Structure 1
Amino acid sequence: MLKIFAAALLAASAASSGVLSNPFTHPPMTDASNLFKTGGPTDTFINHFDQHRVATDIYMQFHIAALYPNQTITITQERFFQPLAYAKGAPWHTLVVRELDDVESIKRTWYVPSMRRRDGDGVVQDQVVFAGYEIAWGFQSFIAIVGSWTEGYASITQWHLIGEDEQAAKQLIHDCAAFMSTVTDAVWVFEQSYWKPDFELWKAVQKASWNDVVLDDKLKSSIQDDYRSFFKSEEVYKHLEVPWKRGLIFLGPPGNGKTISLKAIMKEVNVPLLYVKSFHTYQGDELGIRAVFAQARAFAPCVLVLEDLDSLITDQNRAFFLNEVDGLDDNDGLLLIGSTNHVDRLDPALSSRPSRFDRKYAFPNPSKAERRAYAVYWQDKLAYNKDLKFPDELLDTFADKTSKFSFAYMKEAFISTLLILAGQEPTYQIHFGPTLLEQIKKLRQQMEDGEEAMMTGSGGYAGAEAAYAGMSWGRNGQEQVDEAVGEGMWGRREEQRGGLMVPVGQKVFGRGV
């Protein structure tokens, strides 16, 4: 494999034999007839990998430059320099990329499962380890040699742009990186040491609506006024000579509207959305926290979401986190929203001091009035079904029977009732009320059993709470389970692959080609 890799590296010199029709033209290349002799670059390259290798990036730069003595070589490891994706997403004919047949590529084929099982069986893609491309960009053309390898814990992808105009190559890097880093219709998610756009999460956020959030009217209005006024008040903050930043904490037991409220906020604000799954990196949490706030400052004004604060902020990383929030760096335009199911586990330095998290919003178990309002919400939701009878007198009965229920428990009562009755058509309208009350009774027993198990240390509710928290960004019922499993599988596969992924067999990239 090492010899193949080395041969592929040197085979770029042979690309001149395959001149493409316009808009592609090849720069002149050196004669490669003597490059495979003993002591030449091939032996040097193989020895580099056979021994304890260092500085692969410099090594590749040096030897590729030797193959193109009359050309400029522009090197980049910029992670947003993704010319194949840029060619696909940019306006028509902005950029066209063609893989060079004369360069022996190294690829690994992977099966990529669907994000959700019902979307199909997935696809097979190629991971590019080494390849050569020709890039046509406006009136410019470049040979591009790309190689990927691992240095320590890091996966490196290095592009070598070979052409006559170094400034043009740098402008291409700029335009491509600017386009690829300006992602719309996505939530930026930080996990495993780096940021990545999550389009599925953005789609889930778009389904949220304040109309579906049943909360105390004063609480809902207060939250809405808070974030809406923040983004409109930059000049007010400046006039008062205070930093234009704000921090909110949503707290309370699971299942009472924290996550759906976060989604409703994220859908409404017209600013970049950043979500942190973990601060952990292979170099420690300090690097992760620094990377998170650096991205937030770059994207400001923006919303930065830290769900499950009590898990994200630990004794070991708290000082670093507070330094980023309170330090000398400019956090203007940052709306920081944290949530926790366990406010008692938060350090007072986080929960009690303004200027870090300025307001705390409690999401307790719903009152009787809120429980009745939630039943009204479902009554309206089911009104389209003329066969299903949901009488007004059932509203008060539901509110009375669901004392201490969270919104999640009440939702489960309705969902389980409808699932049971779905198999009893056409007589389910007769049994809707009794079936709903029976499900409430079972959930009550389940809740009490869980509390007893939690008191005796045998799991129960604590385990259910952990499961709920772990899937809180999913959707309902089986779909939620499918997504939780699918995203975990995707994450593991993505971590294994890394590097540059392309559809199997695709040689040309660009819109309109």
Structure 2
Amino acid sequence: MPIEIDSLLTLPDSAVETLLAEFKKFWTLRENFSGRGFTFKRGMLMWGPPGSGKTSAIWQMTQALVTLHRGVVVFIEDPHLATTCVGMLRRIEPDRPMITIMEDLDALVSRYGDHGFLALLDGETQISNVVHVATTNYPEYLDRRFVDRPSRFDTIMRVGMPSADARRVYFHAKEPSLDAETLERWVDRTEDYSIAHLREVIIAIKCFGQSEDAVFNRMDDMRQSKLESDGFGGQRNNVGFLSQARQVRR
């Protein structure tokens, strides 16, 4: 189905670049997997603060799969319904490349339980020729069976907020009219801003004509309110989540 989204940009971010490179290489390795008797599948889990670019990375993966391999993208919520649909699709299209998307996996597991997701990833209902992609803002809420078991999620990557280079590329691409001095000022003032915050900076200043100071003060107030409402002082994502997940489960 047609989905309208902002124009995708490839930003200089080592985590996303690494994931995209691995994703694209995976589809060239079918014989390498089958020759060793391995199911041709891959699992990727992206974690990090809201707005860090996880969803953007998913859209870039889906775009690559559809345009380069004529693949199918399946967004998963109820794992039992998804298992039925994916199984039916695989019987009809046994060789069609596929991505399954599980956004906010911790919330999905809390709602539906973990068995259905575990079975889909690496159990009695698993399929071949697929990449399972999941995201979470709070990886410490996931059971270690998700985060400490390759073949369910083989690559687990933290996606942080856009770096200065990424912010510079974003601003220049979306608002090429910025002079060098203004561009660098915006880059300096948007440290730890999400992509959504960067987007609003451009819209508020360039489309609505609001003053820079007013916009940046509003963005800073929004971010500070979010940190205070979380009650974690912004430190949740600075802790190695594998060790924290084990502590939680004890």
The TM-score normalised by the length of structure 2 is 0.79
What is the SS of the residue equivalent to 2:150? coil
Q: Which residue of 2 aligns with 1:294?
A: 87
Q: Which residue of 2 aligns with 1:242?
A: 38
Q: Which residue of 2 aligns with 1:436?
A: 212
Q: Which residue of 1 aligns with 2:134?
A: 338
Which one of 221, 225, 228 corresponds to residue 452 of structure 1?
A: 228
Give the distance between the partners of 1:265 and 1:336, measured in 2 at CA.
Answer: 11
Contact 1:296 1:334 in 2 (8 A): no
Cα drift, residue 346 of structure 1: 1.5
Q: How does 1:220-369 map to 2 (within 5 A)?
A: 220-269=16-65, 270-276=70-76, 278-279=77-78, 287-295=80-88, 297-298=90-91, 299=93, 300-314=96-110, 317-329=113-125, 331-369=127-165
Give the distance between the partners of 1:453 and 1:219, measured in 2 at CA.
Answer: 28
CA deviations over 1:331-387 (Å, ceiling 9, x no partner):
21011111112212111111221100111222211233333333222343xx4xxxx
Matched, 1:214 2:32: no
Matched, 1:375 2:171: yes
Give the distance between the partners of 1:352 and 1:315, measured in 2 at CA.
Answer: 21
What is the SS of the residue equivalent to 1:313? helix
Give the distance between the partners of 2:7 and 2:63, measured in 1 at CA.
Answer: 7
What is the SS of the residue equivalent to 1:232? coil
The 1:208–1:417 alpha-carbon spacing in structure 2 relative to 1, beyond 3 Å, is closer
Q: Which residue of 2 aligns with 1:408?
A: 196
Give the distance between the partners of 1:408 and 1:331, measured in 2 at CA.
Answer: 35
What is the SS of the residue equivalent to 1:324? helix
Q: Which has the higher contact order (CA 8 A, sep 6+)?
A: 2
Give the distance between the partners of 2:151 and 2:25, measured in 1 at CA.
Answer: 17
Contact 1:297 1:334 in 2 (8 A): no
Q: Which moved more, 1:349-358 or 1:361-370?
A: 361-370
Output the aligned Cα RMSD.
Answer: 2.5
Structure with the largest fraction of strand: 1
CA deviations over 1:227-276 (Å, ceiling 9, x no partner):
21111211111112211100111211121211122112112212111112
Q: Which residue of 2 aligns with 1:138?
A: none
Give the distance between the partners of 2:147 and 2:185, measured in 1 at CA.
Answer: 38
What is the SS of the residue equivalent to 1:405? coil
What is the SS of the residue equivalent to 2:37? coil
Give the distance between the partners of 2:230 and 2:122, measured in 1 at CA.
Answer: 38
Give the distance between the partners of 2:226 and 2:53, measured in 1 at CA.
Answer: 21
Name the aligned partner's letter for residue 181 of structure 2: E
The TM-score normalised by the length of structure 1 is 0.41
Cα drift, residue 330 of structure 1: 5.5
5+ long unaligned stretches in structure 2: 233-250
Residues paired across the two proteins, number = 225
Structure of larger gyration radius: 1
5+ long unaligned stretches in structure 1: 1-198, 280-284, 384-389, 422-431, 457-513
Cα drift, residue 318 of structure 1: 1.1
Percent of residue pairs identical: 21
Cα drift, residue 311 of structure 1: 1.4
Give the distance between the partners of 1:321 and 1:450, measured in 2 at CA.
Answer: 30
Matched, 1:397 2:199: no
Q: Which residue of 2 aligns with 1:483?
A: none
The 1:415–1:294 alpha-carbon spacing in structure 2 relative to 1, beyond 3 Å, is same
